[in-house]
Amino acid sequence: MAWVFLTEDRVYKLKKPVVYPHRDCYLLRDREVLCREEVHLNRRLAPEIYLGVVALRLDGQGRLAISDEGEVVDCLVVMKRLPEPLMLDVAVSAGRVSKARVSRVAGMLADFYRGLEPVEVTAASYVDRFKGELDRNREMLVDPQFGLASGAVSPMLDRLARLLEEEPGLLGDRADQGHIVEGHGDLRPEHVCLLEPPAVIDCLEFSRRLRLVDPFDELSFLGLECERLGAAWIGEQMINECAQALENRPSGRLLAFYTAARACLRARLSLAHLLEPAPRKPEKWQPQAREYLALALRACRELG
């Protein structure tokens, strides 16, 4: 959804003029609004990284330039370039993540969530959101063209759907108790930088609905992705420390549901790449979907 240009110490992000069901960037004015929203929102967790928005112009010779003169043809988000070895996914793969660094990230996230005002969301609408996602997941995951509908997938999806019907309070109580906030929306290891202080980038600027989350849903997602990289301990430590700092510890069953639901969503999004007219790395997506489904099945076993 964007082109990213890297220099030695800067990153420039140019949003593509595309239209998706969840986002319309066809007009320049819409891209500019999203650029400014991206900077505003991401400064919550990376205030020193997001430098602002600049105009891309045509100079007198008809060349593209970042300057104060010439016709404006687009706009760019400008960021400081982060050190790749300190990105959490890279550091995990290299075995260079310490408990102390994870603790600092957990502390920053706990402070972030503690400072957010609860968003009014009814229990019914919160549960319905998950029901809708599960329906979309099922449609994709059991599609015969992907060859993933093993004997375990449909029963797992049935179990998640049945939980929402039989125990709506498991999720609904989170909304009723005021635990839904406007969070990050895409809390993955590749968005976490182990700087001092840490920084978290690339929140979902284009959809407030997707940013309305239970903090422990986001933290479960981060834990899921760390587990896929072979570092399940990171998610466990993060959740434990945030629960203590926030004085709010969700049940293990709720965390298991969040993890399974996120894993199914990630499996679906992996397969969705294969529906593109010219998918990049087509050999990647089915194995990746299988990885997520295996993690979803593991989490689902904890539901009892």
For the chain, list residues with pLDDT below 50. Answer: none
Q: Is 109 left (phi over 0), alpha (psi -120 to 50) or beta?
A: alpha
Opening angle at CA 223, ends 153 and 256, nearest 5: 45
142 forms beta bridges with none
Q: Which residue has the tokens 């009723």?
A: 176
CA 97 to chain centre: 21
**Which tokens hold the place of 67?**
């300057």
- Nearest CA-CA partner of 64 in 76, 81, 78, 53: 76
Residue 263, amino acid: A
- Which class does domain 86-303 fall in? alpha beta
**Which tokens hold the place of 249?**
């510890």
What pLDDT, on the 0 to 100 scale, is given for residue 22?
Answer: 61
Quick one: the chain helix, strand, coil %, rounded to 5? 55, 15, 30
What pLDDT, on the 0 to 100 scale, is given for residue 253?
Answer: 97
What pLDDT, on the 0 to 100 scale, is given for residue 73?
Answer: 92
- Enter the pTM of the model: 0.94
Residue 168 main-chain phi, psi, to 5 deg? -60, -25
Q: How far apart are the first and last CA of the chain?
A: 40
Burial (CB < 10 A; 0-12, 13-18, 19+), residue 74, is middle
Burial (CB < 10 A; 0-12, 13-18, 19+), residue 80, is middle
What pLDDT, on the 0 to 100 scale, is given for residue 246?
Answer: 97
DSSP 3-state assignment of 171?
helix
Q: Are 78 and 53 in contact (CB under 8 A)?
A: yes
What pLDDT, on the 0 to 100 scale, is given for residue 166?
Answer: 97
